[in-house]
Amino acid sequence: MGYRVAVVGATGAVGREIIKTLAEREFPVREIIALASGRSVGQQISFGEDTVLTVKALDAFDFKGTDIALFSPGAAVSAVHAPRAAAAGCVVIDNTSQFRMEPGVPLVVPEVNPQALRAFARRNIIANPNCSTIQMVLALKPLHDIARVKRVVVSTYQSVSGAGKEAMDELWSQTRAMFVNEMPPPEQFPKQIAFNCIPQIDVFMDDGATKEEWKMAVETRKILDPDIQVIATCVRVPVFIGHAEAVHVEFEGQITEAEARAAWRAMPGVTLLDTREDGGYTTPAESAGEDSVYVSRLRRDRTVPHGLAFWCVADNLRKGAALNAVQIAEALDREELLKRPA
């Protein structure tokens, strides 16, 4: 028998991708329930080829008897309903920022720190990392195993889908408006996003960093190594799907380019596509719809004793969100950390 699974925030971009990914990967589902806010109740979402889900109200849903709930409704909603689900005996996999840095809540990328999953029973909640963190730590992990990462300087180029469907709609409407000279004022972003780049994702903190930049630093340390230092500059770019990162890494010891290439080739979830010729790299557009984190533009950083630089891209809705959440559920099942219904 399969599990009774709830998807919270089912009508959002990530929620829909979670439902799609569960079907594509044939996760053992006995019953799946789509949950969202009251304004979405009654909408229909396809699950696989033959099943149509009718969205139910989250506020009125009783999680008792539900085995797994994959949350992606926004942090404020998760703050209220994830503990309610966990208290009912449901294992929560939360894709928001609400629980990531809380003690007793594992922050997991299954290919990187699967051992952390065993701590989930303390709270019955597992946190999915930030999308930009996921792809970076996946690329860093095999290198860290060779020479230990000391410091990371990263600039991100993040698509608008990371801010939700309304943000994607704003990029589309502004792009269209540009050609008729009727640019509407920005609503989802602090400045115009069409044909522009915005060096702000999330709110500013006291030290001048944005919260997105802070997330990349603290989450990397929680997932990979508490001694790693990270400085990030996170930029929103006019791309619909796919995040890119320019990553400069300083290591404690020697690591060669050949060693890095071999490590990436052996790393699950990473694809090395790097030839030193025109077009010999992967772009965000090419990552859309793909499960892998793509690495290219590898070269030595000669400004530090032991340094490498590289470029990585990934579909932020898949590996950066939905796929990673589903892989967490798969790992729980595979490691028999969940009680399968009889």
Which residues are tagged catalytic?
131, 243
The pLDDT value given to residue 176: 94
188: nearest Cα among 242, 236, 132: 236
Grouping H, G, I as helix, E, B as strand and the rest as coil, residue 208 is: coil
Dihedral sign, Cα of residue 245, residue 293, residue 5, residue 23: positive
Q: Put residue 269 in one of left, alpha, beta given phi > 0 → left and psi -120 to 50 → alpha.
A: left
The pLDDT value given to residue 62: 96
263: nearest Cα among 310, 305, 301: 310
Could you state, in chain order, the average pLDDT of each consecutive group of 10 residues for the chain (342 residues)? 94 94 96 94 94 96 96 94 96 96 96 94 94 98 98 98 94 94 92 97 97 98 98 98 98 97 98 96 96 98 97 96 97 87 60
Q: Which three-class secondary structure string do you get for 22-69?
A: HHHCCCCEEEEEEEECHHHCCCEEEECCCEEEECEECCCCCCCCCCEE
The pLDDT value given to residue 181: 85
The pLDDT value given to residue 338: 84
**DSSP of 82-108:** HHHHHHTTPEEEE-SSSSTTSTT--B-
Residue 238 phi, psi (nearest 5): -80, 65
Grouping H, G, I as helix, E, B as strand and the rest as coil, residue 12 is: coil
Q: Which three-class secondary structure string do you get for 229-278?
A: EEEEEEEECCCCCCEEEEEEEEECCCCCHHHHHHHHHHCCCEEECCCCCC
The pLDDT value given to residue 83: 97
How far, in Å, CA of 236 to CA of 162, rounded?
9
